[in-house]
Structure 1
Amino acid sequence: MKKMYYLSTCGTCKKIIEKVGATEKGVTLQDIKKDPITDAQLKEMHNLAGSYEALFSRRSQKYRPMGLHEKELTEKDYHDLILQEYSFLKRPVTIVGKKIFIGNDAKSVEALEKAL
């Protein structure tokens, strides 16, 4: 299975999709704003990533306004917040077989490119 969870309105996601040739290489794209992730999908990501915190984006525009920077969040909090608000998922998240690639840092994008 090759699947990428991304935002169609995110310029960085679009650049990564183009750079790694995701559409040409048969990667299924899921725009998490139009088609929200399910609990089962999030649990699959968690099993591959090892924690919900690894999937959580503190860069979300809702992070500070909700006062989350002042709280000590648990794994359950991360899980619930990601399901409640799509912008809390660190993007893009790509699953290739049994490997997961999270975020847009250079190392992750390079590893994804090699895996595809």
Structure 2
Amino acid sequence: MKKVYFLQTCDTCRRILKEVNLDGFERQEIKSNPISVNQLEEMYALSGSYEALFNKRAKLYKAMDLKNQDLSEADYRQYLLDEYTFLKRPVFIVDNSIFIGNSKKEIEKLKEKIG
């Protein structure tokens, strides 16, 4: 399976999607088509943590003052389901591997994986 979760309005996501060979990838734009509980559970199974999927640079994270709260995995899960901006983007799933976020290192690992 090859899938990518992204945000169409995000310049970084658009740049990465142009940079990566997306042949055979199912694409899901998370604002118009939010992630489901099953999709989040699948990402969790591959990443091992809801916190790893959570975008701590989201404007809403600061606006809700979440950085000063002690969040549990259950809290991260609920915020991810409630608000699309909390998903660290883009998220690529290739077979049984997950690549989360836009760091150079993560994108290089993704490119290596898909060849």
- Give the TM-score, by structure 1 length: 0.96
Residues 71-113 of structure 1: per-residue CA shift (max 9 Å, x gap): 0000000000000000000000000000000000001101111
Query: What is residue 66 of structure 2 aligned with on the other side?
Result: 68
CA shift, 1:114, in A, is 1.4
Identity of aligned residues (%): 49
The size of the alignment, in residue pairs, is 114
CA shift, 1:43, in A, is 0.4
- Runs (5+) with no aligned partner, structure 1: none
Query: What is residue 44 of structure 1 aligned with on the other side?
Result: 42
Query: What is residue 77 of structure 1 aligned with on the other side?
Result: 75
Query: What is residue 11 of structure 2 aligned with on the other side?
Result: 11
- Give the TM-score, by structure 2 length: 0.97
Q: Secondary structure at the match of 1:26?
A: coil
CA shift, 1:44, in A, is 0.3
Query: What is residue 99 of structure 1 aligned with on the other side?
Result: 97
**RMSD after superposition:** 0.6
Q: Which whole-Å CA distance do the structure 1 matches of 2:46 and 2:21 have between them?
A: 23
More helix as a share of residues: 2
- Runs (5+) with no aligned partner, structure 2: none
Task: Identify which of 52, 55, 59 aligns with 1:54.
Answer: 52
Query: What is residue 113 of structure 1 aligned with on the other side?
Result: 111
Q: Which whole-Å CA distance do the structure 1 matches of 2:94 and 2:113 have between them?
A: 7
Hey, which bits of structure 1, 4+ residues long, moved more than 2 A? none
Q: Which whole-Å CA distance do the structure 2 matches of 1:15 and 1:67 have between them?
A: 30
Q: Which whole-Å CA distance do the structure 1 matches of 2:41 and 2:21 have between them?
A: 26
